[in-house]
Amino acid sequence: MDSPAANAAFAKQIDIKFPLLSDMNKKMLKDYGILKGYDVQSENYQWAQRANIVIDKDGIIQHIDFDESAINPNNALSVCTDLHKKQTSK
């Protein structure tokens, strides 16, 4: 799990303009059901499943991609764009 300090260095390195967040106690990952365990040489390690999740202003999930399909963010981005169009045309 990356610490806020590691994320800050990474954000600076590649000039990221959006917040990089850390789930240090893995609570969010558990609540969202995206924590995976791996057994390696009799030790168990846990880290996140890759995911893109779009949540609208009302807190409703509008789109989810998991694993390989979450590598490309374009589907989720187009959901964001459509969502914005709908909201601004009201």
Partner 1 sequence: MQTRRAIASFLLLAALPVSLVIPARSQNTEQVTKTTLKVGDHAPDFTLLSDQWKTVKLSDFRGKKNVFLAVYVLAFTGG
Please state the separation of Cα 36 from the chain's center in Å: 14
Closest to partner 1 by CB, 58 vs 90, is 58
**Quick check: 74 and 81 in contact, CB under 8 A?**
no
x-or-dash pattern for partner 1, window 30-69, by CB under 8 A?
A: xxxxxxxxxxxx---xxxxxxxxxxxxxxxxxxxx-x---
Element (H, E) at 72: none
Among 15, 68, 73, 75, binds partner 1 (CB under 8 A): 73
Residue 66 CB, nearest approach to partner 1 (Å): 7
Q: Is 72 in the site for partner 1 (CB under 8 A)?
A: no
The overall longest dimension of the chain from CA atoms, in Å, is 56
Compute φ and ψ for 47, nearest 5 degrees: -150, 180
**Quick check: 6 and 14 in contact, CB under 8 A?**
no
Q: Which residues bind partner 1 (CB under 8 A)?
A: 1-11, 16, 18-24, 27-41, 45-64, 66, 70, 73, 76-77, 80-81, 83-84, 87
